[in-house]
Amino acid sequence: MSKIWVGTNWKMTKTIAEGISYTKELKQIANKLTSDIELFIIPSHTALVDIKKEVSNSRIKIGAQNMHWEDTGAYTGEISPKMLNEIGLDLVELGHSERRQYSNENDTDINKKVVAALKYGMQPLVCIGENIQQKNNGISLEVLAAQLKVCLKGLTEVQAQQVLIAYEPVWAIGENGMPADAKYVGEIHSFLRGIIVELFPEVGNDIPLLYGGSVNLENFLEYIDHQDVNGLFVGRTAWNMETFTVILHELEKHLYQ
Ligand code: PGA
């Protein structure tokens, strides 16, 4: 897989105005990239319509942070795939650990959302990851395999080709997160690749496997150097345009020159 994916989920951090100014800056940087890095941003729902306009004449892909799986219904506060499709999104992030933790999302819910996203032509970016107790109990591999199997249940090989996976260990995410060792990440990604190929023998090797969780200027090159790491899903370090620019420029130099 030659292409790499690099993107950021803004979480609940940017207003519409802040998002527009961030996107204008990112567009200038993106226009100068010569490699085929697949670049994406994931704004809050309120900013999607405006940010979609900003990225429409650029290489930047846009996604949502979550959605319901039903097209319509009595689900106060939810947003449907049909509504997101009306905006014209490229992807939708599903099952981030913060959604699992604070909104009790489980793998079965995420599976329904994956199917719904595919129905509307949005690429599901499915987040999986073990928490610290699971890691300390030595069951990371079992947990991750189960998450993958349930989240991707029932997909055909053709559907699976549209899926993106992000491995984000819960203990590595956010301000209190502990950056993961690159060797550990490499081993886990190889394991995940094996499970994906088992599930989808024809296309499993082509499904992008991104890494996320405290990706920063010190560690991003170590992560991307592993053959089964096909991209980076960056939080805080990408919210700041200066540091995100360093990552993009260095990746381009490192991988393509
Ligand atoms: P972080 O966030 O890079 O700030 O740890 C990663 C994520 O939650 O995807």
Give per-residue pLDDT as tens, 60-93.
999 999 999 999 999 999 999 999 999 999 999 9
- Per the structure, how many domains does the chain have? 1
235: CATH:
3.20.20.70
Q: Which amino acids bring their CB within 6 angstroms of ligand 1?
A: 9, 168, 173-174, 177, 212-215, 233-236
pLDDT above 90 coverage of the chain, percent: 95
Mean pLDDT of the chain: 97
> Domain range spanning residue 44?
4-255
Nearest CA to ligand 1 atom 3: 235
Active site residue 242: no
H helix intervals, the chain: 16-32, 48-55, 81-87, 97-102, 107-119, 132-136, 140-151, 157-160, 182-199, 220-224, 236-239, 241-256
Residue 25 tokens read as 């800056």
Confidence of residue 1 (pLDDT cuts 50, 70, 90): low
H-type helices in 33-165, by residue range?
48-55, 81-87, 97-102, 107-119, 132-136, 140-151, 157-160
> Is 168 considered catalytic here?
yes
How far does the centroid of ligand 1 lie from the alpha carbon of residue 206, in Å? 24
